Amino acid sequence: MGSLDNKTALVTGGSRGIGRAIALRLAADGAQVVLTYAVNSDAAVDVVKAITTAGGQAWAVAADLRFPAVASELLAQAESLAGPLDILVNNAAHAPTSLLAECSDEEFASTMTVNVMSPFMLMRDAARRLRDGGRIINISSTAIDARVPGLAAYAGSKAAVDCFTRVWATELAPRRITVNSIQPGMVDTDLITDNMGEEVKQVAARHHPLGRIGQPDDLADVVAFLAGPDSRWVNGQIIIANGGI
């Protein structure tokens, strides 16, 4: 038996990169998985196919989290497909890179809606609908402390979610629902490293204590631990998972 047998998970942004690895890992551990995508339906279908081919159950749901109304209906939609939820993974993100003088109102608003407003609404709904003993896992970022020009809006949005994590872990503890955040470092995904070029990635790897940059599976393993029964005493934590850099 898997550690997540008879559990149901919702993973936002589950069609690519870290979200894809999370969806596959939770399914491998026995969970039924509902994953969302914003644009790339083919990638989402591929994840569902990989899970079902391996004997699991999965569903893909279109959910553009730039629109709060989508987030407000998402948990109910997931329940209609898979039944009551046990695990919520807030992974979907918008990560623009704009210097302060060049950041438009629209870009700032999109960042805050996807990265703050939508997770807020999903966690609020989870507080009402998640089964007792459930898990809420937020994917944050070490950009919060990096002071990288152009990442202020993104870093600020992730800092807000980390604050949510600490407070709501206390609020939901009476129902044994734990709330934790994971701060990845550099991870080799299309969102983060595709535009860097192979040489830049190799330089980053040489400066890393472990001699490489992160892979999506590195983060999926941490999520799997937090989603499972062995993490029952881990609550309200901001976990840095960056290989020690």
Residue 58 main-chain phi, psi, to 5 deg: -155, 155
Q: Residue 231 is which amino acid? A: S
Task: State the Cα–Cα distance between residues 129 and 94, nearest whole angstrom.
Answer: 26
Under 8 Å CB-to-CB from 194, ≥6 apart: which residues?
none
Angle, CA of 35, 88 and 228, to the nearest 5°: 105
No. of H helices and E strands in the chain?
8, 7
- Check if 37 is active-site: no
Q: Which of 154, 179, 219, 242 is catalytic?
A: 154
Task: State the Cα–Cα distance between residues 219 and 227, nearest whole angstrom.
Answer: 12
Long-range contacts of 76-82 (CB under 8 A, 24+ apart): 76/125, 76/129, 78/8, 78/10, 78/34, 79/129, 81/34, 82/8, 82/32, 82/33, 82/34, 82/57
Task: State the Cα–Cα distance between residues 128 and 23, nearest whole angstrom.
Answer: 23
Indicate which residues carry an active-site annotation. Answer: 154
